């Protein structure tokens, strides 16, 4: 919720600081880049030296960034504030993803979806609250969202205590999983394909999450408030897709979910630039619902392959997703400045076709679960 405040107030920031689309993209890039670079590092360190109390520490970074965002007097200070929020995300995600897997009871996909649904629901609610508070009362009210950060710190302290006791119990029972399950060559090829599929997913999502409001305002002449509400509708669809993807992967196999979710939204993305406002909203809901189901399946698929590096692989994929979102926002902003915001949506419509590469993924299952013929994907 707190992170989505940044995207929602882009129209306000654009007017207040006289920003170009490229500068808007750089704001997203700064947030995503700090999160992207630090998450794999945090995850790798946490695999060797678990840090239960890093969860509330990460939220402290977010709190500091929100307070600074509300008072930033210049564009560089604005970038510093979103960089702090990005650092908070980088510290939070690798260890919290491990906690979700620990608490799953073996239902890894369901646990990952429930973990991610918190983030996606917050992203969907963020524009609603930001539109009601910040877009009406001014940027200085962004520090009100710091109250959510303070509440989160209190909650995460309890989670961290549970995590700490759980780790001590595992050490006493000598439960250590440090053995690779698959040959390194297969792992490298599979991770490469997954990263390519994530490129397709998050570059396209960047076109909507960062520029959907501008697209609706420019193409259909809606108000900034209406555009923010329609962005929230799309983000709720993303939240629903995230909730579906994990347990569906538990049931029918991660590979099948990955295959269907990325390639399955291609017809709708190809139609989107040519329809009216009503169909634009309807298609964006379908795109968000289908495309978002891939991410929990991808994360758990990678965790199943690298069970001895849960923190590193979680940090890598969360970090890569943040980095792609930021890079996509900057590149698409440059395209929007030089051509038009409509041109961005025409080009991005073809990205989900990269989902064809999912056919080369092996069928990876958690330890103790053998794939069956029913679970295989033809080709």
Domains of the chain: 4-173+186-360 (1.20.1250.20)
Question: Helices marked H in the chain — which ranges?
Answer: 4-8, 10-17, 21-48, 54-71, 75-102, 108-137, 146-172, 184-209, 212-220, 224-252, 254-264, 266-271, 277-292, 294-305, 310-338, 341-348
Contacts of 150 (CB under 8 A, 6+ apart): 63
Name the nearest CA neighbour of 68 among 89, 56, 82, 57. Answer: 82
pTM: 0.70
Tens-level pLDDT at each residue, the chain (379 residues)? 887 777 777 888 888 888 888 888 788 778 877 877 788 888 888 878 878 888 899 899 988 988 888 888 899 999 999 999 888 888 888 888 888 888 888 888 888 888 888 877 787 777 777 777 776 766 767 777 788 888 999 999 999 999 888 877 766 655 555 566 678 888 889 989 998 888 888 888 877 877 888 889 989 998 888 888 888 888 888 888 888 888 888 888 888 888 888 888 899 999 999 999 999 999 999 999 999 888 888 888 888 888 777 878 888 887 777 677 667 777 888 888 888 888 989 988 998 988 888 888 887 776 655 544 334 443 3
H/E stretch holding 378: none
């Amino acid at each position: 919720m707190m992170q989505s405040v940044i995207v929602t107030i882009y129209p306000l920031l654009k007017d207040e600081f006289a920003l170009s689309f490229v500068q808007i993209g750089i704001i997203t890039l700064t947030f995503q880049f700090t999160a992207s670079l630090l998450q794999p590092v945090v995850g790798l360190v946490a695999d060797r030296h678990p840090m239960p109390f890093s969860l509330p520490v990460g939220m402290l970074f977010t709190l500091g960034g929100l307070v600074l965002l509300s008072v930033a007097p210049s564009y560089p200070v604005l970038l510093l504030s979103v960089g702090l929020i990005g650092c908070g995300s980088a510290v939070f995600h690798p260890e919290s993803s491990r906690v979700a897997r620990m608490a799953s009871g073996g239902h890894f996909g369901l646990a990952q979806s429930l973990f991610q649904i918190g983030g996606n629901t917050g992203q969907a609610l963020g524009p609603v609250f930001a539109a009601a508070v910040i877009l009406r009362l001014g940027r200085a009210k962004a520090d009100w969202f710091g109250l959510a950060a303070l509440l989160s710190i209190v909650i995460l302290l309890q989670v961290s205590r549970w995590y700490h006791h759980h780790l001590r119990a595992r050490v006493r029972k000598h439960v250590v999983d440090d053995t690779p399950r698959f040959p390194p060559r297969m792992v490298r090829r599979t991770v490469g394909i997954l990263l390519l599929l994530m490129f397709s997913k998050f570059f396209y999502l960047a076109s909507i999450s960062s520029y959907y409001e501008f697209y609706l305002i420019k193409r259909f002449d809606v108000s900034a408030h209406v555009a923010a509400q329609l962005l929230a509708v799309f983000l709720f669809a993303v939240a629903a897709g995230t909730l579906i993807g994990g347990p569906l992967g538990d049931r029918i196999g991660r590979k099948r979910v990955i295959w269907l979710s990325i390639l399955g939204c291609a017809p709708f993305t190809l139609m989107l630039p040519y329809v009216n406002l009503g169909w634009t909203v309807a298609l964006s809901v379908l795109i968000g619902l289908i495309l978002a189901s891939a991410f929990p399946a991808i994360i758990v698929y990678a965790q199943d392959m690298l069970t001895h590096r849960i923190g590193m692989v979680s940090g890598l994929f969360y970090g890569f997703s943040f980095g792609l979102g930021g890079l996509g926002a900057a590149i698409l902003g440059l395209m929007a400045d030089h051509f038009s915001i409509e041109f961005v949506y025409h080009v991005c419509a073809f990205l989900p076709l990269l989902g064809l590469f999912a056919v080369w993924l092996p069928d990876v299952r958690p330890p103790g679960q053998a794939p069956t013929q029913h679970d295989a994907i033809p080709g």
